Chain A
Amino acid sequence: MPELLRDGRARFGLAVLIVVVSIAVLAPFVSGRDPAAQGDIVATRFLTPFSTDPAGSFHLLGTDRLGRDVWTRLAHGARISLIVGVLATLLALTVGITIGTVAAVAGGPLRLGLLAVTDFALALPRVVLLLLLAALWRPGGTLVVVVLGLTGWMSVARLVYGESSALLARPFASAAIALGASRRRIILRHLLPNTMTPIIVAAALGIGNAITLEAGLSFLGLGVQPPAPSWGGMISSGRDSIVNAPWVALAPGVALVLVVLACMLLGDAIRDRVARRAEMVT
């Protein structure tokens, strides 16, 4: 870990994530307001950032068309973005790791079948599938998590399959098989622990993607439903007032880009560090 912190990308990524997670966890405390509370619409709509409304409350990032405080909505929106991103990625990891290891350990038709399904799913534009699923069932948080999870496992499966196959060819795996270890033991004790790092890298990228796509679905009105604050929904409603109140759409977008960038840079830093270590070993 201290070694990782020498990388500027890792420092930046961790710092951003720590700040955003703290804001999300402490959302009710960093701003005492209710994210859905509407002010006096005439007096408090589209207040510019750093302004104080007639009632005397301060708006760090201004207000939107309904007089709702943008900073409060941003903080509460962070909760939804992070929770959906993490849960969807966990689901994708579970499915991907299962399919990847099973395909590596099992031979014959099962392996071919699983790999074919993975390639097939990989060839679909993810957004097309997301739209299809999100449109057909009633939109909501659970649906978004399930849909993102079920459309995000393919790259993990390919990765885990590749790593596990390579590991199975290594002497320690042969030794374990020769000693009569059960498949279950080989998977749990020999394969999974050794594939953990690439999985963590994939997870970092996956969370970034999932957060973007969740916001995208909310942007189209197919994600988390209003009045719950979500970054995508905020961008979508801020788009209508982009000319006279650009901050409403800009603020959640900047937050989104920062979080996703942090995830990706952190993932890159971990990957490079592992690659360097592998170089030193061989």
Chain B
Amino acid sequence: MPARLLPRLLAGCAVVLGVVTLSFVLLHLAPGDPAAQLAGPAATPAQVEALRVQLGLDRAAPVQFVSWLSRAVRGDWGVSLATGRPVARMLREAWPATALLVGLSLGLSYLVGIGIALRQATGPRRNDTRLSVLTTALFAMPAYWLGTVLVWGLAYQFQILPAFGAAGLDADFLPPVARLIDGLRHLALPLLTLTLLGIGGAARFVRGALLDVEGAPFLLAARARGLPEARVHWRHLLRNALGPVVTLLGLSLPALFSGAVFVEGIFAWPGVGRILILAVLARDTPVVLAAVTVSAVLVVLGNLLADVLRTWVDPRLSHA
């Protein structure tokens, strides 16, 4: 299996490098002067110039890129223009929150999505149509709107969940169990939003994969042998449809991550997406560059994971 994964790993590295290069070029093409921005409106031209030299912004773009890259590889990601904090530390603190949110929601939405899709592919046709409209409607919902509606309903109307943040103001003073519960309560709304959106996509994908397998002769054979319908569904239908589903799971990661950016933004969830939005609005270029890189790395890692999972789900692949 490692031999099969090696080219994927190299391709993943190439994608990350490509993303970084593209972002760097775009940041360079864009109007605006980071040195002037960092120096502030009161700075004299001489001060701005000195800062430019200090930051290395006076050098040619390729030189800057190589030096940024070599520092980035060693873990030095520069300093945020907006907050003055080291970028590496900001992202080190942020990425677990994003990985937790996206990972949990991916798992949950596929669990529920597979359940819905099984009902659709094997149940009566009217059921299928109704559920299709439901999942498509979920798929069609923008993350920031669904989040807003859920906040309105669950946080303000019924007041059962906190509306934003990752911990209550008193979290540091709570005993461990209460602190965990506080954390879970804060996780609930962002996770629910992202999962509901994910269910829409997951059920649509899985339904397609199930219908592709539905006509296969081995299902007819299984039914002819008199196997109970439930066993046919779980062992024969679903098992054979899982391969493409896992691949789609990997492919849907970028979309899920896109949703997470908005969800983190509106729920003030302290992840990479929120950092990206804030940095973009503040034109904080070092942070933008770093957040884009980290999100590309997370997506590539997720895809690799899907690849490993796929060989596990479909052992035939490891013999191919």
The residues of A with any CB-CB pair to B shorter than 8 Å are 8-9, 120, 122-128, 131-138, 208, 212, 215-216, 219-222, 232, 235-236, 238-239, 242-243, 246, 249-250, 253, 256-257, 260-261, 264-265, 268
What residue in chain B is nearest A133 (Cβ atoms)?
A: B26
Q: Chain A residue with minimal CB distance to B14?
A: A120
In the complex, chain B residues whose CB is within 8 Å of the CB of A136: 26-27, 29-32, 283
Chain A residues within an 8 Å CB radius of B103: none
| Among A212, A222, A238, contact of B140 (Cβ-Cβ < 8 Å) | A212
Task: Check if B258 sits within 8 Å of A127, measured CB to CB.
Answer: yes
B121 lies within 8 A of chain A by Cβ: no
Q: Which residue of B lies closest to A275 (CB)?
A: B211
Task: Report yes or no: A131 in contact with B141, Cβ–Cβ below 8 A.
Answer: no
Contact between B148 and A235 (Cβ–Cβ < 8 Å)? yes
Q: CA separation between A16 and B300, bound complex, in Å?
A: 39
Interchain nearest-CB distance for B68 vs A (Å): 16
Within 8 A of A (CB), among B137-194: 137, 139-145, 148-149, 151-152, 156
For B214-252 the 0/1 string (1 means CB < 8 A from A) is 000000000000000000000000000000000000010
Interface string of B1-34 (1 = CB under 8 A from A): 0000000000000110011000100110111100
**Residues of chain B within 8 A of A261, CB atoms compared:** 133, 136-137, 140
Whole-angstrom distance between the Cβ of A220 and the nearest chain B Cβ: 6
CA distance A134 to B280 in the complex (A): 9
Among residues of A, the one whose C-beta sits closest to the C-beta of B296 is A124
B145 CB contacts on chain A under 8 angstroms: 235, 249, 253, 256-257
B261 adjacent to A128 (CB under 8 Å)? yes
User: Interface of B with A (CB < 8 Å)?
Assistant: 14-15, 18-19, 23, 26-27, 29-32, 129, 132-133, 136-137, 139-145, 148-149, 151-152, 156, 251, 254-255, 257-259, 261-262, 265-266, 276-277, 280-281, 283, 288, 291-292, 295-296, 299-300, 303
Inter-subunit contact A135/B281 (CB<8 Å): yes
A265 to chain B, nearest CB (A): 6
Q: Is the CB of A253 within 8 A of B136?
A: no
Contacts of B259 in A (CB 8 A): 127
A268 to B211, CA, bound (A): 14
Residues of A within 8 A of B258 (CB): 125-128
Chain A at the B interface: SS class: helix
Residues of B within 8 A of A239 (CB): 148, 266
In the bound complex, residues from chain B placing their C-beta under 8 Å from that of A265 are 133, 136
User: What residues on A are CB-neighbors of B265 within 8 Å?
Assistant: 220
**For the complex, what is the distance from the CA of A134 to the CA of B281, rounded to whole Å?**
10
The CA-CA distance from A9 to B149 in the complex, in Å, is 26
The residue that A264 contacts in the complex, of B29, B31, B140, B257, with Cβ under 8 A, is B140
Indicate if the CB atoms of B142 and A212 lie closer than 8 Å.
Answer: yes
Q: Are B288 and A135 in contact (CB under 8 A)?
A: yes
Is there contact, CB below 8 Å, between B148 and A125? no
Which chain A residues lie closer than 8 Å to B139 at the CB level? 264
Closest to A264 in B: B136
Residue of A nearest to B300 (CB): A123
In the complex, A220 Cα to B26 Cα: how many Å? 20
B299 pairs with A125, CB closer than 8 A: yes
Q: Are B129 and A8 in contact (CB under 8 A)?
A: yes
